[in-house]
Structure 1
Amino acid sequence: MMHRDALWHRGLALVAVLWMVAALSLLVASVIAVSRGSTQSAQNHTALVRATAIGDAGIQLALTEWRHEPSMHDRLFVRRYVFGGRVVDVELIPSSAYIDISTAPLDLLQALLVVAGGLDPAAAETLAARIVDWRDPDDRASPGGGSELAPYLAAGLSVRPRNGPFLGKEDLLQVAGIGLDLFARIEPLITVWGASGRVDPQFAPERVLFVLAQGDAGRVAAIMEQRSRGGATLDTSALNPAHVGGGGASVLHARATVTMEDGARVARSRWLEIWPGPDGTPWQAVATEPARYLPAPPN
């Protein structure tokens, strides 16, 4: 009997040891996984910091060249530089090339939400009216689904329509019904520093041209082909004349794309007013967007 009890106790001890070894193995695996995750996170952060510095260097160099080449001010200014083995492509784009959410008319906002935002026309009409109501100075709801306080109160939101212009692109998230996914889709196409409610097609990014052309790829291709030939005059007769114009903007969008060693691309953007800054430079930043990884281009 004592021999049997001793065997039983030894068996329990062996099971306990095995459970302890398994628990320690899981703990070690977890520590290794966390360590690897922390290392990867640190490496990504370091890469973004380097890309930010490279992007800013490219932007500064491009601005210096642009300032001393006034003949290039009537066309898209594009440059490629190499810093420390990293390629950086820089574009200087007038803010009038984007859709100004503070001044764009209702139908242009609706086209933005349909073509770039992916909404159906009815939903786009409602949200476009809410954008207008958020910024206009009165308390009357716009026709077509607009509203002032009602949706904000119904949703229990603490924000209210400003009844004034948007101060930053992110203010658009305060409009009832505009979520992060929709904002992410339209954010690259908008600004709050446009000179008017119209868009300058001479400089507009291709995705903005798609909005102006109501998603007509043929019209966009024709305009892009004209721009590639140079010249300050475009045939924009296929576009809504009420949406075409702009020019005279005093703010530039400086956009740098840095290609890293592994082929990943990082975007760095700054919005700069072309007026002497307090530090003596001939421009001053009005907004700086954090560096972010861009999706891989399609094959």
Structure 2
Amino acid sequence: MSHPRTPTLKRTLARTPAGPSRAASQGLALIAVLWLVAAMGLIITGVVKSVKTETRSSGQQRQSLQAQTQADAVLLLALQNLYFQDNPLRQATQSARFVFAGQDTQVEVNSLNGLIDINNAPVPLLAQLYAVAAGLPNDAAQALAQATVQSRETTNAKGLQAKFDAPEDLLQMPGFTYDLYAKIRDLVTADLKDGSGRVNPMAAPQSVLQVLTGGDTGRAAALYANRNVPLTGMDTTVLNPAFIDSSISSSIRLQAFVPMGNGASLVRTWDVLSVQDRRTGLPWRVLGKSLTLSTSAPN
């Protein structure tokens, strides 16, 4: 018995060609490969850029470390010159150059009472600081000055006044924001051990002189420019006598300026007290150190 043929099925299969489906698959594969190549290109570009950035950053860190080492070395030379060669600080400010490892570096030495002493400054001077340097309204500046004095005079468990160990301790006061602190931190100190609460204008930076003049920028600039000029010098009669002092403090600030290229300098700062350090036997005690980058030339 013979079986009937199924021509309909054969015709249906014959109408389903394999060619176009294979071409579509190959096209998708090609697109996938192209996407993969593009993605790998982006990854490689990112890796190369990252390596270059890290290399540049490592070079900058190495340069900064070398500059800091240079600065610390010349500051030690400056201290040796002051204390071991019987050459004490006889002026409120002085400048000298020291050579170490073949590099010439400028060092400035200032009596630390050229800054505003937050542990001893009177309320009117603190209020003027907050008004001029921080831009607070007079009433707010006066209130904050009163709060500062109250905070430093609070007694601890031993019955001693709390005082401020560092300028950043001001941030512990209610309402004392970091924005406010950033505006005054370079004008103040907590390291004066023999402070009268007044400022020696001969050692003061121009920003502090601007506070002492009540915000008169032009007069502050003139005072700063003339303070080391022979014969004429600084006319301190224009300043409030209750705010100024002519003594030289036993606490000093040394700053080394190491050129970094493009007009910038790495500034290494040491605050030093002129008393013997029992730990090292040296005739000075380092109270604090800081490191900044300056785009302006040293004075």
Smaller-chain TM-score bracket: 0.7 to 0.9
In 2, are the aligned partners of 1:86 and 1:261 still within 8 Å (CA)? Answer: no
The answer to whether the aligner puts 1:266 opposite 2:266 as a matched pair is yes
The answer to whether the aligner puts 1:49 opposite 2:65 as a matched pair is yes
Query: 2 CA distance for matches of 1:37 and 1:29?
Result: 12
The amino acid of 1:166's aligned partner reads F
The amino acid of 2:264's aligned partner reads A
Instruction: Decide which of 148, 154, 168 is 1:137's aligned counterpart.
Output: 154
Deviations 1:87-119 (A, max 9, x none): 422111111111011121222122222322233
Higher mean Cα deviation, 49-58 or 75-84? 75-84
> Number of residues paired by the alignment?
273
Deviations 1:102-138 (A, max 9, x none): 1212221222223222334344334333323322227
Following TM superposition, by how much is the alpha carbon of 1:52 offset from its aligned partner in structure 2, in angstroms?
1.0
Task: Give SS of 1:188's match.
Answer: helix
In 1, are the aligned partners of 2:224 and 2:234 still within 8 Å (CA)? Answer: no
In 1, are the aligned partners of 2:201 and 2:245 still within 8 Å (CA)? Answer: yes
Aligned to 1:197: 197
The answer to whether the aligner puts 1:77 opposite 2:94 as a matched pair is yes
Query: 1 CA distance for matches of 2:245 and 2:60?
Result: 41
Query: 1 CA distance for matches of 2:221 and 2:285?
Result: 35
Query: 1 CA distance for matches of 2:247 and 2:296?
Result: 33
Aligned to 2:144: 127
The amino acid of 1:3's aligned partner reads G
**Identical aligned residues as a percent:** 34
Deviations 1:183-212 (A, max 9, x none): 222111110123121111121112111111
Task: Give SS of 1:196's match.
Answer: coil
Aligned to 1:255: 255
The amino acid of 1:73's aligned partner reads R
In 2, are the aligned partners of 1:96 and 1:246 still within 8 Å (CA)? Answer: no
Following TM superposition, by how much is the alpha carbon of 1:266 offset from its aligned partner in structure 2, in angstroms?
0.8
Aligned to 1:59: 75
- TM-score, normalised relative to structure 1: 0.81
Task: Give SS of 2:243's match.
Answer: coil
Query: 1 CA distance for matches of 2:285 and 2:230?
Result: 29
Query: 1 CA distance for matches of 2:109 and 2:23?
Result: 81
Query: 1:103–1:75: structure 2 CA closer, same or farther, 3 Å change rule?
Result: closer
Q: How does 1:1-299 map to 2 (within 5 A)?
A: 1-67=17-83, 68=85, 70=87, 72-84=89-101, 86-137=103-154, 164-194=162-192, 195-230=195-230, 235-245=235-245, 247-277=247-277, 278-289=279-290, 291-296=291-296
The unaligned stretches of length 5 or more in structure 2 are 1-16
Following TM superposition, by how much is the alpha carbon of 1:226 offset from its aligned partner in structure 2, in angstroms?
4.4
Query: 1:223–1:264: structure 2 CA closer, same or farther, 3 Å change rule?
Result: closer
In 1, are the aligned partners of 2:81 and 2:87 still within 8 Å (CA)? Answer: no
In 2, are the aligned partners of 1:86 and 1:260 still within 8 Å (CA)? Answer: no
In 2, are the aligned partners of 1:199 and 1:245 still within 8 Å (CA)? Answer: yes
Task: Give SS of 2:203's match.
Answer: coil
Query: 1:230–1:60: structure 2 CA closer, same or farther, 3 Å change rule?
Result: farther
Query: 1:191–1:163: structure 2 CA closer, same or farther, 3 Å change rule?
Result: same
Query: Computing the radius of gyration over CA atoms, which structure comes out larger, 1 or 2?
Result: 2
The unaligned stretches of length 5 or more in structure 1 are 139-161
The answer to which structure, 1 or 2, has the higher relative contact order (CA under 8 A, 6+ apart) is 1
Please provide the CA RMSD for this pair: 2.6
- TM-score, normalised relative to structure 2: 0.81
Aligned to 1:141: none
In 2, are the aligned partners of 1:97 and 1:246 still within 8 Å (CA)? Answer: no
Query: 1:24–1:273: structure 2 CA closer, same or farther, 3 Å change rule?
Result: same
